[in-house]
Amino acid sequence: METRLSRYIWTHTRKQQLWILLVVALSMIPYFLSFDLPKQIVNGPIQGEGFEGPEATQAFLPVSFSLPGFGEVNLFSGFQLEREGMLLALSLVFLLLVIVNGLFKFYINTYKGRLGERLLRRIRFELVDRVLRFPPSHFKRVKPAEISTMIKDEVEPLGGFTGDAFVQPALLGGQALTALIFILLQSMWLGLIAAFIVAIQAVIIPRMRRRLLVLGRERQLTARELSGRVSEIVDGIGTIRGHDTSNYERADIAARLGRIFKIRYDLYQWKFLVKFLNNFLAQVTPFLFYSIGGYFALQGRLDIGQLVAVIGAYKDLPGPLKELIDWDQARQDVQVKYAQVVEQFSVKPLIDPSVQAISITSVAPITGALAAVNLSVSDDGGSKVVEHVSLQVRPGEAIAITGGSTGGGEALAEAFGRLTWPESGRIVVGDDDIHDLPESVVGRRISYASSEVYTFQGSLGDNLLYGLKHAPLTEVVYEGDKAAHRRWELLEAKLAGNPSLDLNSDWIDYGAAGATGPDDLFAKVRAVLDTVLLTNDIMALAVRSTINPERHEAFAGEIVAMRGALRRRLEAEKLSDLVVFFEPGSYNVEATIGENLLFGTVTNQARWEQALESHPFFKTVLKRAGLHESFYEMGLEIAGNVVELFRDLPPDHPFFQQLTFMAAEEIPAYEALLQKVRGRAIDEVSEDDAIKIIRLCFGYIEPRHRFGLLSEELMSQIVEARREFSEGLPEDLVGIIEHYQPNRYMASASIIDNVLFGRIGHRHTDGSERIRAIVRDLFESLGLYNNVLAFGLDFDVGAGGKRLTAGQRQKLNLARALIRMSDFYIFNQPLLALDQRAQEQITRNVFDFLRQDDRKPAIVWVLANPALSELFDRRAHFENGHLMSDGAVETPAKDSDYKELAS
Amino acid sequence: MLARHSEKRTVMLLKDEVEMLRRITLFSGLPPAKLKLLAFTSDRVMYSAGESLFHQGDIGDAAYVILSGRADVLVATQTGQLKVAEVEQNSIVGEIAILCNTPRTATVKTSTALEALRIRKDDFLKLLADFPEMAVEIMRVLADRLSQTTSELTEARSRAQRAEA
């Protein structure tokens, strides 16, 4: 990148800068005219110059000029106007000039803004482009937050400056010069005085501002470091709390902020000192005008109109001048910023752009071998982790790499995966160096997966298919407004030097996954997920998710239909007591009293709480059903039990997880409340207190809490009240509750709750697991399995995939590599988070998966468990960075010999 | 049908469970309020005949207090499952595995319909930490069992020696 900002701007916006300069030059004409006009108005119609007689007229708008050697050319002799007419005409011209000047300003500012924003877009893109091409070692040195601060914040002022880079000095310089020339024309002396003061300002002020620049640079660096530290705190919060070092971090941040404060305060002091001096110099000039100019006027050597015009013109001098000085300040400021950023992004060696060039066509398979040739790799400290290793992986071969964490096998795999670059030696594919081949070949035909996983924020499905998105494969046809918008997008992208790749295009390379299109891709997805044992996890996520039944009408219908199927199945397997179904006419003992009363779920907890406390509806219905008093008694009983059980426990005791009626900190309040209402009937207790007690009932489940509070009579009363609740629900409470209806899908409940339409009993320890297995089985037999799985693929994995477990992330990462048909698969202990048994199972599955349909890609697997090497053709053993042995895996016969020896 | 269910369920309540717990040596020394807490934090579980509470070799995650019914304690041997003991109402099983983090030493399989209180490992350990008298009680029970096992072993050895001679 260019090291000088002004050159960078000139290179990319030359034409536009010249155009805007031309416009600025044109705008000078009305600007200059508007200076002369006040003098004409004052001297002419107001003071009467040239209107000596009452009927005297003057020419308005005569167009004449003199050509040298030709004489006066008179094109238009003008309109003859009287004094009042002239005043009006000239004033109107003045107004016209104001408008014209304003319009020029509007056009120039808009144009400049656009120019700046385009350049900002260009710089930001170029920086990110460079990040994509940084060598791997550089990422170990920089903090992500610092890079993003640079791209986001530090280059921002550059955009603002771009438009002003050349226009501002031209415009302001032009204005200042115009004003100065005008003053000079009016009065040589006054003009010289003004010019002298201007010269002083132009020399002194920028000198004083040099210190500001130094401070500015410090401010930039410290702020960038601060953002790096803040992101470190966020990323390392577990470590900080775990080691009780939060106060060390506080001290560090406070010290940094102190330094930043000092720098910023210094900046302020200097800034205002410079401002003071600048203002003073600007104000000295009018003092000289009034004293000297006034003196000349008194002596008659300067007419008053001239003096007024000089003073008027001077008003326009300090403004542009000050802005010019400010501009210079801004120029130096952004130059410093730009140089800083460019320095950070000038990393060598950058990956050549041709390596990452887009390739839309599919890439031919690699037929040569992948090999390390005399390869050495060092870690950051400079010690060699792989030393002079030569290892060839022929197409179709399966090689196990063993030797544990210090062996060097991992480092070799990383080098194969291009995560580290060789210190010496080469990695070759056929005859070519792997780093010279385009990424469209090595990034597609060689797949790499390790236990270090990065998942992007987005859906699970997007992450799974991420490795297929190499190029926009379809041409999207836009129509109407969208077409116009797309044309605009393309044009702007071109003007800002951005690529025109269409994000809306289908980027998924179905062929690379062995599918022909979106329709049969799902089978591949399913196969891959089964291979890495992720399907059940995703199903579990799917059934817990909620869907919009209006958007998935058919599916919702099938789910509702499944309720009956589930019942029949449970009956057939004699497991009916596993689930207690919701029946409109009977009490569901496994559900809370609240659910039984409302016969539905609360969709908006906050509104519900509020309604419960203040809405008269609940009280009326409860009273009418004769439940008001029973609920109060029951609430007292619950409160009493809870207080008795939990009173002595500290608030953070794990037993409080079992407490669903109230929060741990509410217990003292209830204890006091019980004291207060003891021995008093409900009508003697205040409304608020009664509600506090009654609401405890809503969370009660008899088989779970076992306080023995529900009687047969009470249950039928609750079922009785249920109807009133659903039918009499007032207007303002509609939507707060979603009622259970046996033949309707509940939008606020999860898929599994919709299937069950009931509650799993508390009495079977493995009840929910058994139900889940049965439901999964039902999905399969009813042909809904894939639909449900698709909902699971919509699951948002969160920032960095944090909503998945480490094991799930590693499985996903492996699946992402597997779904893409490559010639070489490099697996660098990809499943470390899983237990031994699962690792073994998945490794075997992967072999089956990659060996089906006559495919025979090469597999290089860095094994944590050497026992698995029997699956492979060859085994390469590493110790201390050296390849110790490399040969065919011992035959099973030998293996059993060994076993006998060992036992 | 639901009504019948619920009627059955209301038979044994928290307070009955407390009574049950009190009859178990391990818990007999605890104040009633703590027993109630223990009962409240535990799950009531039901098994039909022939179901397993847990299997030998599983990681222990809970102990079971049998409220009603009977179960066999089975140990895997080379010749198959060997019944080593029977547990019934008012006894506790599975407490060893949750105390010393070892896999289950035996399988417990119900011989009749069985109702039990399932005490989770974390809750149980928390209780031990909170109430040292309970820990002492556990120690006493374990020491009892050890001495019993030792004397049985001695007897078995001397029997073996006699047989050899």
Q: How far is B4 from chain A (nearest CA, A)?
A: 10
DSSP lists the bridge partners of residue B62 as: B120
Tell if the CB–CB gap between A702 and B122 is shorter than 8 Å: no
In this structure, of A333-342, B21-30, B152-161, the range with the lowest mean pLDDT score is B21-30
pLDDT digits (tens, 9 = 90+) for B69-99: 999 998 888 787 888 888 888 888 888 777 7
DSSP string, A454-483: ---SSBHHHHHTGGGBSS--S-PPP-HHHH
- B-chain residue closest to A653, CA distance: B126
B46 chain-A contacts, CB cut-off 8 A: 763-764
DSSP B102: P
Query: Does residue A351 or residue B60 have the better pLDDT?
Result: A351
pLDDT digits (tens, 9 = 90+) for A161-199: 888 888 888 878 877 887 888 788 877 877 888 888 888
Q: What is the pLDDT of residue A465?
A: 92
B43 chain-A contacts, CB cut-off 8 A: 762, 765
Q: What is the pLDDT of residue A765?
A: 67
Q: How far is A744 from chain B (nearest CA, A)?
A: 23
The answer, yes or no, to whether the previous bond of A892 is cis (omega within 30 of 0) is no
Q: How far is A766 from chain B (nearest CA, A)?
A: 10
Q: What is the pLDDT of residue A65?
A: 66
Tell if the CB–CB gap between B33 and A764 is shorter than 8 Å: no
3-state class (DSSP) for residue A891: coil
Q: Amino acid identity of B11?
A: V
Whole-angstrom distance, CA of residue A638 vs CA of residue A695: 10
Tell if the CB–CB gap between B10 and A580 is shorter than 8 Å: no
Say if residue B102's pLDDT is above 80: no
Q: How far is B145 from chain A (nearest CA, A)?
A: 29
Q: What residues contact A367, with CB distance under 8 A and at least 6 apart?
A: A395, A430
Q: What is the pLDDT of residue A122?
A: 93
A762 chain-B contacts, CB cut-off 8 A: 43-44
Question: Looking at chain B from residue 92 to 111, which residues have their Cβ under 8 Å from any Cβ of chain A?
Answer: none
Tell if the CB–CB gap between A645 and B33 is shorter than 8 Å: yes
Q: What is the pLDDT of residue A694?
A: 86
Q: How far is B117 from chain A (nearest CA, A)?
A: 10
Residue B45 at interface with chain A, using a CB cutoff of 8 Å: yes
Residue A650 at interface with chain B, using a CB cutoff of 8 Å: no
Surface-to-core class of residue A111, CB atoms within 10 Å of its CB (0-12 exposed, 13-18 middle, 19+ buried): middle
Q: Amino acid identity of A514?
A: G
Which of A83, A831, A104, A708 shows the shortest CA–CA distance to A450?
A831
Reported pTM: 0.73
Whole-angstrom distance, CA of residue A645 vs CA of residue A668: 12
- What pairing do the DSSP bridges indicate for beta strands A874-879 and A398-402? parallel
Tell if the CB–CB gap between B6 and A587 is shorter than 8 Å: yes
Tell if the CB–CB gap between A645 and B37 is shorter than 8 Å: yes
Which of A731, A727, A735, A734 shows the shortest CA–CA distance to A624?
A727
What interhelical angle do A535-544 and A518-531 show, nearest 10? 110
Residue B10 at interface with chain A, using a CB cutoff of 8 Å: yes
Q: What is the pLDDT of residue A490?
A: 92
Residue A262 in tokens: 């000092």
Q: What is the pLDDT of residue A329?
A: 81
Task: Indicate the residue of B13, B44, B123 with minimum beta-carbon distance to A762.
Answer: B44
3-state class (DSSP) for residue A365: coil
Tell if the CB–CB gap between B3 and A586 is shorter than 8 Å: yes
Residue A10 at interface with chain B, using a CB cutoff of 8 Å: no
Tell if the CB–CB gap between A706 and B40 is shorter than 8 Å: yes
Q: What is the pLDDT of residue A532?
A: 92
Cβ neighbour number for residue B47 with a 10 Å cutoff: 23
Residue B165 at interface with chain A, using a CB cutoff of 8 Å: no
Residue B144 at interface with chain A, using a CB cutoff of 8 Å: no
Q: How far is B40 from chain A (nearest CA, A)?
A: 7
Whole-angstrom distance, CA of residue A815 vs CA of residue A792: 15
Q: How far is A263 from chain B (nearest CA, A)?
A: 54
Tell if the CB–CB gap between B13 and A764 is shorter than 8 Å: no
For residue A659, CA distances in Å to A526, A633, A654, A793 come to 41, 19, 10, 34
The helix (run of H) or strand (run of E) holding residue A302 is none
For residue A468, CA distances in Å to A298, A367, A511 come to 87, 21, 9
B3 chain-A contacts, CB cut-off 8 A: 586-587, 712, 715
Alpha helices by DSSP H, listed for A134-187, are 144-149, 156-162, 164-186
Which of A315, A252, A250 shows the shortest CA–CA distance to A282?
A315
- B-chain residue closest to A658, CA distance: B41
Q: How far is A764 from chain B (nearest CA, A)?
A: 5
Residue A567 at interface with chain B, using a CB cutoff of 8 Å: no
Residue A398 contacts residue A861 (beta carbons within 8 Å):
yes
Size of interface A-B (CB pairs under 8 A): 71
Task: Indicate the residue of A641, A644, A703 with minimum beta-carbon distance to B9.
Answer: A703
Mean pLDDT of the region B28-46: 81
Residue B2 at interface with chain A, using a CB cutoff of 8 Å: yes
Task: List chain A residues with pLDDT less than 50.
Answer: 892-903
- What pairing do the DSSP bridges indicate for beta strands B92-93 and A398-402? unpaired
Whole-angstrom distance, CA of residue A159 vs CA of residue A337: 12
A712 chain-B contacts, CB cut-off 8 A: 3, 6-7
B44 chain-A contacts, CB cut-off 8 A: 703, 706, 762-763
DSSP string, A708-754: ----HHHHHHHHHHHHHHHHS--GGGTTSEEE--TTS--TTS-HHHH
Q: What is the dihedral of CA A581, A584, A585, A590, to 10 degrees?
A: 40
For residue A431, CA distances in Å to A306, A425, A426, A450 come to 85, 14, 11, 26
Tell if the CB–CB gap between A703 and B41 is shorter than 8 Å: no
DSSP A762: S
Whole-angstrom distance, CA of residue A413 vs CA of residue A375: 12
B123 chain-A contacts, CB cut-off 8 A: 654-655
Tell if the CB–CB gap between A763 and B15 is shorter than 8 Å: no
Residue A823 in tokens: 């010639």
Q: How far is B25 from chain A (nearest CA, A)?
A: 22
- B-chain residue closest to A708, CA distance: B13
pLDDT digits (tens, 9 = 90+) for B131-140: 787 788 778 8
Q: What is the pLDDT of residue A763?
A: 67
Residue A637 at interface with chain B, using a CB cutoff of 8 Å: no
DSSP lists the bridge partners of residue A858 as: A824
